[in-house]
Chains A and B, each alone.
Chain A
Amino acid sequence: MSTVISPGKTRKRAGTTPRTAGRTRPRRAGRRQQTLACVTLLAPFTALLVAVFLVPVGYAIGLSLFSEDHKGLGFGGGTTVFTGLRSYLAVLNDPSFVSGFGVIALYCLIFVPVVVIGALALALLLDSGLIRLRRTAQMLLYVPHAVPGIIAAVIWLYLYTPGLSPVIRLFAQADITIDFLGLHSVLPSIVNIALWSGLGYNMVIFYAALQALPREVIEAARIDGAGGLRTALLVKVPIIKGSVVMVCMFALIGALQLFTEPMLMNQATPMVNSRFTPSMYIYDAAFRRNNYGLASAASVILLIVTCALSYAVTRWAGRRERSAR
């Protein structure tokens, strides 16, 4: 994904195939060695994939299909039996689960463009050399990402809570009342937390991509008479499009798993209910309603939605790339 070739101009890079070291050795030995290397290198990944992804997913699917079953009024306890898709039907018929995706959609609508454009702008500014103390600026922007999400959320919650927040007090002194936790302001407040920690991280990705792009292209653009802004928007951005798509996808996947910030804000304001996002719904189902079947079914649905969306984004980006060529 990172080796995106810009439309047309770069012909030089093509054709430089890496030289293989083992050409002089007999072929079969080389192949066996290659297989061994593959197995050795893939084993840790595979082991982890199986242990922390495939097994839990399998367990969740099992839990969602076999769950507690009761008869009639249900008093006196139930038995665990195969209930088929009952939990899935219940989840899909739950307005509070479906509305969680609405919240995520709205969140993405605000968050993704702002974080992509913001991080891109910062990266381009750093790359253009307009900002002095580049290293310091880069570090300052990246530091929030190093703060664990839960800590960040606690700090922001402090700044958002009326009666505690110095920010609100400051505004109040100027006779401005702001409510960060109100009915309509709560989602932007959550986006703000995510932006604060996500901006620097994504900027680093873009900056790294910009550093890797061939200097002669920039030079050519400058010789052709393009100014700084034009070079940035029409030359640099198209070249690092691959990184932009990747950041979009990660932002999307991250958004679907939105949990920490709203979970903490749920303690502070009733405007964030206990089933605000799909992840919170799952938590609520498992640990407040003791309905593990329901929670597992919701988890599996969330997984499917996430996979489908990721696939759609990469597919869409790939198609655009191909048509651009």
Chain B
Amino acid sequence: MRHTRNAVAALLTILAMLLTACSASSGSDIAEAGRPVHLTFWSALRGTQEVVDEYNRIQHKVRVDFQQVPSGAQGGYAKLSNAARAGNAPDVATIEYPQLPGFAIDGVPRDLTELLPQSVRRKILPQALDLTTLDGHTYAVPVDIEPMMFFYRKDVFRKYGIPVPTTWAEFASSARKLKKAQPRARIGSFFTNGALHMAGFSWQAGGQWYQTSDDTWRISMADAPTRKVAAYWQHLVDQDLVRVEPVDSQQWRAHLQSGETVGYTAGAWAAGSLMNSTPGGKGKWAIAPLPQWDPAKPSLGTQGGSTFVVTKDSGHPKEALDFITWMVTSPDALRAKLSSGVSSAYPAVPSLVPVARKEMDTGYYSGQDIFGLFQESAKLISPRWKWGPRMTSTITSVEDGFAKAGAGSGTVIGALREGERRTLPDLKSLGLSVTTN
């Protein structure tokens, strides 16, 4: 009996010593402020480490433990889903707009409607906040929103006297003129892995792949505006006026570098990525607003952009949201992010645009006021768009079809229809209320 008691006492002493050792090593400079709250944060966004370091530097109440996760469905999203399923998701995570409804259906993000103060809401571009507000509940805070732009080689356009298109009709005629002047050059590309680009085009034309009303998902990935857009790109592909290749592929990059592809359409973020991937293009590239269908009624869709969520598993939702608010609204956070390298992500908080404008060296674009241009474009983002419940899988299905259409089997609109068909069984098996029209 006595032996046991002694043993227990010894064990407790060792345990206590260990505990003190642990707490001493975790941060002696904050001892007087009490134990800090630890938040875990997963993100695939580049430059996040710098932002986290800055936050950990300027305050001592919260310690953010950051983990960089791989981007894409197979990387960070799978990891997040599995962690949430196991009940140990990080406090804060990054989710892109298209994937947000899916995660909200799986119950990963926390409903922030009550927690997010009006003062923060007011700062965010309404269209961005709309995309993170699902069925009246806000599940995420947008960090950037990316209106689609047209990137082009101004030297080539000037050389052959080709007008920079302002409408899609002009885009096609400019494409024809360019091909005539320089048979090896093309004005842009149809991206065989660009279902999200197609979504952006459809969004601009007034398409609504997903709608929600009467507590029901209404899916129409081949609605009239989408059919118009699909037919337009089909025509460009059939006439060999655009390249057919995957975006971010080696061949696509090689064509950009060699000057055989003289333009491309993407979200505003692509300005920074172009500077990184094609350094030789300095002084040659410029940015224009995306062509319009009807210049009298200009409208735009987005491509890219991310949001931050507080997960349901988080034990510190208030601190997590404070951290997110700082990341999204503070000039310091944006500066830290920009210090990591070139980023042209367009902030979802318009009041931060002057910061980005000041920090960004636009020498690549010959000093063009690109953030001013983004600002004008962001205002045109149509507020009607909604993403669907299983976008990752829908996108993959559509892109399978695009690749086949590019290889001469099937059509652009056929791929979209097939994408819808392949999405439905999934949604029905989840018990969601779904109709097609």
Most chain A Cβ neighbours within 10 Å, of B85, B111, B396, B433: B396
When the two chains form their complex, are residues B404 and A183 in contact, meaning their CB atoms are under 8 A apart? yes
Question: From residue B157, how far is it (CB to closest CB) to chain A in Å?
Answer: 31
Which residues in chain A, 50-99, are within 8 Å of chain B measured between CB atoms? 67-78, 83, 86-87, 89-91, 93-97
Given contacts A73-B134, A288-B392, are A96 and B397 in contact (CB under 8 A)?
yes
Interface stretch of the complex, out of B102-110, B142-150, B174-182 = B102-110
Complex: A320 Cα to B162 Cα, angstroms: 75
Closest residue on chain A to residue B396 by CB atoms: A274
Q: Is B215 an interface residue (CB 8 A)?
A: yes
When the two chains form their complex, are residues A94 and B422 in contact, meaning their CB atoms are under 8 A apart? yes
Q: Is B389 an interface residue (CB 8 A)?
A: yes
When the two chains form their complex, are residues A294 and B212 in contact, meaning their CB atoms are under 8 A apart? no
When the two chains form their complex, are residues A69 and B396 in contact, meaning their CB atoms are under 8 A apart? no
Residues of B with C-beta under 8 A to A87: 429
Which residues in chain B, 54-77, are within 8 Å of chain A measured between CB atoms? 73-74
Given contacts A75-B135, A75-B137, are A69 and B407 in contact (CB under 8 A)?
no
When the two chains form their complex, are residues B425 and A90 in contact, meaning their CB atoms are under 8 A apart? yes
Question: From residue A56, how far is it (CB to closest CB) to chain B in Å?
Answer: 19
Complex: A95 Cα to B418 Cα, angstroms: 9
Given contacts A75-B101, A270-B193, A288-B392, are A183 and B407 in contact (CB under 8 A)?
yes
Q: Is B14 an interface residue (CB 8 A)?
A: no
Question: From residue B106, how far is it (CB to closest CB) to chain A in Å?
Answer: 6
When the two chains form their complex, are residues A70 and B101 in contact, meaning their CB atoms are under 8 A apart? no
Q: Is A128 an interface residue (CB 8 A)?
A: no
Which of A72, A77, A275 makes the CB contact (< 8 A) with B106? A77
Interface size on A, residues (CB 8 A): 41
Q: Is B11 an interface residue (CB 8 A)?
A: no
Q: Is A290 an interface residue (CB 8 A)?
A: yes
Q: Is B431 an interface residue (CB 8 A)?
A: yes
Which of B111, B193, B407 makes the CB contact (< 8 A) with A76? B111
Complex: A182 Cα to B418 Cα, angstroms: 20
Most chain B Cβ neighbours within 10 Å, of A72, A74, A95: A74
Given contacts A83-B431, A93-B425, A290-B81, are A78 and B107 in contact (CB under 8 A)?
yes
When the two chains form their complex, are residues A77 and B105 in contact, meaning their CB atoms are under 8 A apart? yes
Residues of A with C-beta under 8 A to B217: 73
Which of B392, B399, B429, B432 makes the CB contact (< 8 A) with A270? B399
Task: Write 8 A-B pairs (CB below 8 A) sorted by A numbering.
Answer: A73-B134, A74-B430, A74-B432, A75-B101, A77-B106, A289-B426, A291-B429, A293-B429
